[in-house]
Every structure is written in structure tokens, then in C-alpha cells.
Amino acid sequence: MAARIKRPSIQRLLLAQLMVIGLITVIAIVADGLGGAVSALEGGAVAFLPNAFFAWRVFRHQGARHAKKIVNGFYQAEAGKFGLTAVLFTLVFIAVPPSNPAFFFGAYVVTLFAHWLGPWLLRRPLHT
């Protein structure tokens, strides 16, 4: 019987991004009030939603028999992430422009930088 390959658990990484968004929103509400908090939430959402979409799409297939599907899924997930990011930026700046662009872009960038925690958050615990 073949050993089943365990998919990486990305919940901790997505949760870390949500915590970063929450922290920046709290900082924004203290520093700039409700307008800054809404701007921070918008920036965090523009970063988080495409990343969540990518994670959902890219880990659908696993195993050596599905190598071609894995590669195609990766490219489709990346294209979808890029398209969703462009749509969300457009939507935010047309429908609900941020009142504080510094908090909007700050939350966007810091939420993206949470991926640097990925290797630490995704590592599997040692079972010795």
C-alpha cells in the first residue's frame, strides 16, 4: 500500500495574515480613527483574498501521477491570484477609495510580508 502524501497545512499561514490585518487595524483605529481602520481592512483584504484563493487552488492535486495537473493548477492559481488582485485594487479605488492611503498600502504590504513566516509556520512537527 502506498503511503499517502500529506498536503501542507496552510491554515496557520492564513491565520497569521488575518492576525496581521487585525493588528494593523487596531493600530490604525488608535492612530487615525475609523477611516484609518477601514483603509487598513481594505488593504489587508486586497492582499489576503487573492492569497487564500491561490492556496485553495494550488493544493487540489498531489502525488507523482498528477504532476502535470499540479503544474497546471499552480499556473492557473497564480493567474487567478493576479487577476483577483487587479480586480480588487480596481474595485477598492473606484467603489470605496481609502481615506488613508498610508494605512491601506501599509496593511497590504505587511500582509504580503507575512508569507516570509511561511517556512516557520508550515513546517511539520518532528515525531521522534
- Supply the DSSP symbol for 74: H
pLDDT higher than threshold 60 for residue 128: no
pLDDT tens-digit series, residues 92-116:
999 888 888 899 999 999 998 887 7
pLDDT tens-digit series, residues 60-96:
666 666 678 777 888 888 999 999 999 999 999 998 8
Which amino acid would we find at residue 9? S
Q: Which cell numbers hold the place of 75?
A: 499556473
Smallest CA-to-CA distance from 12 within 109, 123, 111 is with: 123
Please report how many Cα atoms fall inside a 13 Å half-sphere around the Cα of residue 125, on the Cβ side: 1
Q: How far is the CA of 27 from the CAs of 18, 86, 101, 102, in angstroms?
A: 14, 26, 14, 12
Check: pTM over 0.85? Answer yes or no.
Answer: no
Q: Helix 101-113 to helix 34-58 angle, to the nearest 10 degrees? A: 30
19 compared with 4, residue with greater pLDDT: 19
